[in-house]
Structures are given as structure tokens and as C-alpha cells.
Amino acid sequence: MFSKKLARILCVVLFALISIVLLSISAKHPHRYTIVDRVAMAGIVPFQDGVSRTMHFCARMWHHYFYLVSVREEYDRLKGMLAKAEMEKSWSLESELACRRLRKLLEMKSELPYRMVPASVVGLDPSGWFKTVFINRGTEDGISKGMAVITSDGVVGRVIGASGRYAKVLLIIDRSSAVDALVQRTRSRGIIEGETSESCRFKYVVRKADIKIEDTVISSGLDGLFPKGLRVGAISEISRPSSGLFQEVKVRPFVDFTRLEEVLVVLE
């Protein structure tokens, strides 16, 4: 009755109408959640989830592991920069500390009426039994045997030998060292002799001399080596034996000989 062509056209029209009707019904009830939707969701979403997780996993793998090659390079670069910055910081701190020490020495140099040469300690005695240091100034700088060596803290020692550019200094804490000294408060005299790296003996202080713990001991200038009035140390221990003419006194030097870096050599 109908030709094949007409039947096809009718089918298309029918489908179009059905679609329009269904769309109209659907538009009338938007967001309707039917059992079909649930089934569809239950069937599809797990797969979506799986694929999605796999993709995320791959992306994470890429970014956190494979991509880390470049991150590692950046890390190394940053680490290098940090180390450099740390070194610069340390260097700057060291410069600041050196600057402070040198400023103190400079102030002292301008205050004292002596001609002085600054020097750096470049070496120490090879044995712990003898207390000497080497400084980087010698006869070329006017240094000669017997000259006094001081810091802003006090007396360091005296030059016992000098070459062209270096000199050897015997510290006051050496047992063979001696400094004529007096107690600043009472003017009691004695001789400072080395004992250990932390203390000196203040010998030949007469029994009747009035001295107290923490009294400051200064150089008397009578030995012809150390200028008068330079700080040597503070009295740390006094004992008066039952017999004898003198007291036994120990003095703690003001100079920290373990941290000796810059010194001044008194030329006159």
C-alpha cells in the first residue's frame, strides 16, 4: 500500500514526534531521579571513577616521581644557593666580629701614648707545655726582642724572637714569663708568673699587703718591658700560709689566650 520511501519518512516523523513528546514531558518534570537513572549511575560511575582515579594516579606519578628529576635539579640548585648564603652570612658575621675587635684595638691604640703595631696570631706552640704564639709582624715592621704585646683586654706577653716578617711571643701564662705588677687599688707589688692557661701566680706579695679577691692587677712598668698601667688580670685566690714572708696569690688573666687573634706590639 505504501511505498518503502514513504514508510521511512513516516517513521522519521513518528520518531521526531515521540522525541518532542518525551522532551516535553521531561521538561515538565526536570531533575526527576528515576530508577533508570540510578541503574545507569550504578553501572557507569564506578568505571568513571576508576578511570578518573587511574588518570589522577598517573598524573601524580608524573608530577611526584618522573617530574622530580627537574625538581631534584632545582633542589640541588637551591641547596647550593642556601649553602652560599649561609657561608656569606658566616663570613659577614666573622667580618663584623673582626671589625669590632679591630675597633677596640684601634681605640686603645689612640688612647695609649705609645707607638704600636697591630698583628695577627698565625701559629701556636706545637706543645701544650709551653705558651708561645707566632705573629705576622717582624723586624721589617720595627719589632724586636723584648717588646710588649697587648690587646684591649690586657697584657699578652713579650716578643722573644723576631725574623723579617714574623715574631715569636712568649705569653704571660708561660712558666718562664714574668711581669712586674701591682694591685691597682692598694699599689701592692709582686711578680706575675705563668702557671696554667687559666691562671698565673702573683708572687712576692708581702703578707701585710691589703689585697682582695677580684682586685685588678696592672703592670708596674718597673721591669722596663711592659708600660705602666696595663691590665693584667684579677685576683682569683689568696692564701696566707702560717709561715713565710709572702702571700700565695693567683691571678686570672683578663686576656682569653684560647681566643687570641689580633694583638698590638708596643714599639716604644
* Residues that bind another protein in the complex, under the rule CB under 8 A: 122-132, 134, 160, 168, 170, 174-176, 195-196, 198, 201, 258-259
If the CB atoms of residues 60 and 240 are measured against another protein, the closer one turns out to be 240
211, β-bridge pairs: none
Residue 118 beta carbon to another protein: minimum distance, rounded to whole angstroms: 20
**Closest to 201 in 3D by CA, of 253, 255, 148:** 253
Nearer CB in complex with another protein: 33/129: 129
Report the C-alpha gap between 168 and 157 in whole angstroms. Answer: 10
Whole-number minimum distance, CB 214 to another protein, in Å? Answer: 21
Q: How far is the CB of 232 from another protein (least distance, A)?
A: 18
Q: Residue 151 in contact with residue 167, Cβ under 8 Å?
A: no
- Least distance to another protein from the beta carbon of 197, Å? 8
| Interacting residues of 63 by C-beta distance below 8 A, sequence separation 6+ | none
Nearer to another protein among residue 231 and residue 250 (C-beta) = 250
Q: What is residue 253's three-state secondary structure?
A: strand
Which residue's CB is nearer to another protein, number 242 or number 258? Answer: 258
Distance (Å, rounded) from C-alpha 116 to C-alpha 215? 28
